[in-house]
């Protein structure tokens, strides 16, 4: 995914971890994702490395990519055809690092 934000910032995801990018799983695909994990683990019970690689291969298409401009806060989300849609920042209190913030389950 690469985006030129109207504010002038160029955002490009090259595969390395980035605080501006995230892969999102639409809730519509959650059951399919979980089912695929279960199927693959059952298929390769003695080799977790192979199982995890197959899970990644089989489920990558379920996810969408998104990014947030760190300069202005706009959000960009790709659809299934890789078309990018932009959503403006309307709340002045919206953090500029929404995608990098830790969740309750992560440790500092």
| pLDDT tens track for 35-83 | 999 998 888 888 888 888 988 898 988 999 999 999 999 999 998 888 9
**Calpha distance 95→91 (Å, rounded):** 9
Q: Residue 103: its pLDDT value, please? A: 66
Residues 9-19 have a mean pLDDT of 86
Q: Residue 10: pLDDT above 90?
A: yes
Q: Residue 102: pLDDT above 80?
A: no
Compute the mean pLDDT over every residue in the chain, rounded to the nearest whole number.
87
Q: Residue 11: its pLDDT value, please? A: 93
Q: Residue 21: pLDDT above 80?
A: yes
- Tokens 């806060």 sit on residue: 73
């Amino acid at each position: 995914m690469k985006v030129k934000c109207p504010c002038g910032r160029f955002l490009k995801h090259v595969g390395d971890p980035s605080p501006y990018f995230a892969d999102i799983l639409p809730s519509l695909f959650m059951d399919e994702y979980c089912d695929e994990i279960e199927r693959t683990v059952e298929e390769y019970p003695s080799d977790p490395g192979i199982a995890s690689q197959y899970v990644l291969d089989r489920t990558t298409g379920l996810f969408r990519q998104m990014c947030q401009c760190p300069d202005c806060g706009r959000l960009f989300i790709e659809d299934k055809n890789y078309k990018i849609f932009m959503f403006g920042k309307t709340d002045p209190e919206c953090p500029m690092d929404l995608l990098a913030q830790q969740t309750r389950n992560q440790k500092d």
